[in-house]
Amino acid sequence: MSFNLPQTDKKRVVIVGGGFGGLKLANKLRNSDFQVVLIDRNNYHQFPPLIYQIASAGIEPSSISFPFRKIFQKRKNFFYRMAEVRSIFPEHKIIQTSIGKVSYDYLVLAAGATTNFFGNKNVEAEAMPMKNVSEAMGLRNALLDNFERALTCATDTERQELLNVVIVGGGATGVEIAGALSEMKNFVLPKDYPDLPTSLMHIYLIEAGPRLLPALSEESSAKVEQYLRTMGVNVLLGKMVTDYQNHTVMLKDGSSIATRTFIWVSGVMGQPVGNLDEKYLGRGRRIVVNAFNQVEGLDGVFSIGDQCIMPEGDDKWPGGHPQLAQVAIQQGNLLAKNLKRLAEGKEMKPFHYRNLGTMATVGRNRAVAEFSKMKFGGFLAWLLWLVVHLRSILGVRNKMIVLFNWLWNYMSYAQSLRMIIYAKKAKEVIEREQRLASTHWGTDLLSEGSEDPHEAEKK
């Protein structure tokens, strides 16, 4: 396989990851004097803040996903390739991917974050993460399948395991999925499963820290906890999950919860990059960058968004910026300007994060919002959350579909998306993936230092 990119005298910017940061950077480089190459393992941009609504069968996956090729139609000097990065060779300014090599003048790592299981192999093997659309679809299928099996299982013990839902992680994602599943229990199950007592379904939200939403104020955390308890969620604070075996979640204090729906949203870490040396990684295995989002020691390599950490570049955020969409968007915006300045021989400008506020929703009419010194909750915060997220979704059609789904659900909860669908891959796709997976890219791939990078890319 090969990238098949046309040779040009323009400098090439390779962007790895089409999330908020990568997409903003690619858009801001429109009509610039660069050849821009976007690499992503998926052929679409996804909107992570609403992924939990896919898992709870509230909206369709296509509503928060938008094809890259649709976004960048008719763009000159822009190329998208579906691939995964395997290794980086900064001395040659080349990266190795699942479809071959590509050279760069500037490389931007913007692949985001992945689930952090903190080294617990049992949890990693058994838990259901929820970081992307595919994982959310898997969770949705598991939930619905468990409801169906609960009607036909042989023992009460198995039935209770099928109906217990354990969510680990009291951040925004954990709070939001707990609220969505509580509404499913209270309003959907009685209609869809009239012969299944909803009192048997128990939702547990476990947080190792002393409160939910640690990134928000104590006032907002207390309000969210109150909302969830009112909705019937069992909130367990100061409890640490140590293992998961035989359909049982084990806690550090010796207690346990039987469940076959084990959702892990307890933490994230930077998306790993093949052979990148450990010395370039900081807290949460995020790539350490300076105030200009440069990876110091790697010529022409930058990183933005959740994949990077800027521990000393911003006085207001000495420990690194929060892993929020706005950080990635603002970094992508500034980096586009800085790359243009570099090409013109000008000095780059340092990044300073402008905090636009933080919001989290729990369910219908229940949310919290914080803007500078202003904090509020309830219906107004929920309405603002809806508006902000609706504006951020790509595509007019997607905005209309999500708005219609929200209005329909608000009035009736009669959503018809609760279908169990397992995609079957074509034989050709399976065989191609097996061939790519069996290919080994060694660190000696470019052992001949005299080889020209652009010539190596053609091979």
Residues in CB range of 207: below 8 A, 6 or more apart = 169, 170, 174, 235, 236, 237, 238, 239
Of 333, 369, 378, the closest CA to residue 351 belongs to 333
Alpha-carbon distance of 334 to 327, in angstroms, equals: 11
> So what's the pLDDT on residue 452?
46
Under CATH, domain 11-41+83-114+269-346 is a member of which superfamily?
Answer: FAD/NAD(P)-binding domain (3.50.50.60)
> So what's the pLDDT on residue 5?
92
Q: How many CB atoms lie within 10 A of CB 397?
A: 12
CATH 3.50.50.60 boundaries in the chain: 11-41+83-114+269-346
Tokens of 5: 């990119």
What is the CATH class of 121-266? alpha beta
- Region of 51 on the Ramachandran plot (φ > 0 left; ψ -120 to 50 alpha; else beta): alpha
CATH 3.50.50.100 boundaries in the chain: 121-266
Residues in CB range of 173: below 8 A, 6 or more apart = 51, 52, 130, 265
Of 94, 111, 88, 85, the closest CA to residue 304 belongs to 111
> So what's the pLDDT on residue 315?
75
Place of tokens 């993460």: 129
Alpha-carbon distance of 346 to 340, in angstroms, equals: 9
- Region of 183 on the Ramachandran plot (φ > 0 left; ψ -120 to 50 alpha; else beta): alpha
Q: What is the pLDDT along the chain (459 residues), one digit of tens a residue?
A: 678 998 889 999 999 999 999 999 999 999 899 999 999 999 999 999 999 999 998 888 888 899 999 999 989 999 999 999 999 999 999 999 999 999 999 999 999 999 999 999 999 999 999 999 999 999 999 999 999 999 999 899 999 999 999 999 999 999 999 999 999 999 889 989 999 999 999 999 999 999 999 989 999 999 999 999 999 999 999 999 999 999 999 999 999 999 999 999 998 999 999 899 999 999 999 999 999 999 999 999 999 999 999 988 777 888 899 999 999 999 999 999 999 999 999 999 999 999 989 999 999 899 999 997 789 999 999 999 999 998 888 888 888 888 888 887 777 766 667 888 887 888 888 888 788 777 655 544 544 333 444 554 554
Alpha-carbon distance of 46 to 67, in angstroms, equals: 9
> So what's the pLDDT on residue 447?
42
Alpha-carbon distance of 314 to 332, in angstroms, equals: 16
Mode of pairing for the β-strands spanning 248-251 and 241-245: antiparallel
Beta bridge partners of 263: 128, 167
> So what's the pLDDT on residue 372?
79
Tokens of 135: 């994982």
Alpha-carbon distance of 287 to 269, in angstroms, equals: 10
